[in-house]
Amino acid sequence: MYEIYTDGACSGNPGPAGVGVIIAKDKKLMAQISYYLGDATNNIADLESIRVGLNNIPEKSNVTIYSDSTYAIGMLSKNWKAKANVGLVLDILALMTKFEKIKFVKVKGHSTNKGNQAADHLAVKAYMKKDLEI
């Protein structure tokens, strides 16, 4: 069983954005992923973090995705209709069909959930690092 903790962050909305992803298998840390997206909205960063997580685990796996984004979870698991970010949402929905089982868990952002805190730290670090480049 894979667990993916995801978070996106941006400075301004839209603004410089980053992705943070923590991947664990059977409670063992497998990967930490952090990168700069460029200018994007927080919703795009949250969705992209989920796509990155799924792209970094084997297909046909069982996976639980932890996110503090009501928007991302709604778009991907509750049949909300996308008015923005349609291509990104459709790409992730297609990617999701390659997995045996996907469960989404809504976590409270900026709280005591260590996985979410770590993903948030990676996402913020990603856009802050870009802000420091000259």
How many folded domains does the chain comprise? 1
CATH number of the CATH domain containing 43: 3.30.420.10
pTM assigned to the model = 0.93
pLDDT digit string (tens) for 13-53? 999 999 999 999 999 999 999 999 999 999 999 999 999 99
Q: Is the dihedral of CA 69, 96, 64, 124 positive or negative?
A: negative
Give residue-wise pLDDT tens across range 110-128: 777 899 999 999 999 999 8
By the 10 Å C-beta count (0-12 exposed, 13-18 middle, 19+ buried), 19 is classed as buried
Q: Tell whether omega for the bond before 14 is within 30 degrees of 0, i.e. cis.
A: yes
Domain ranges, residue 28 = 2-132
- pLDDT tens digits, residue range 77-111? 999 999 999 999 999 999 999 999 999 999 987 77
User: What is the torsion angle, in degrees rounded to the nearest 10, for the CA atoms of residue 94, residue 96, residue 100 and residue 101?
Assistant: -140
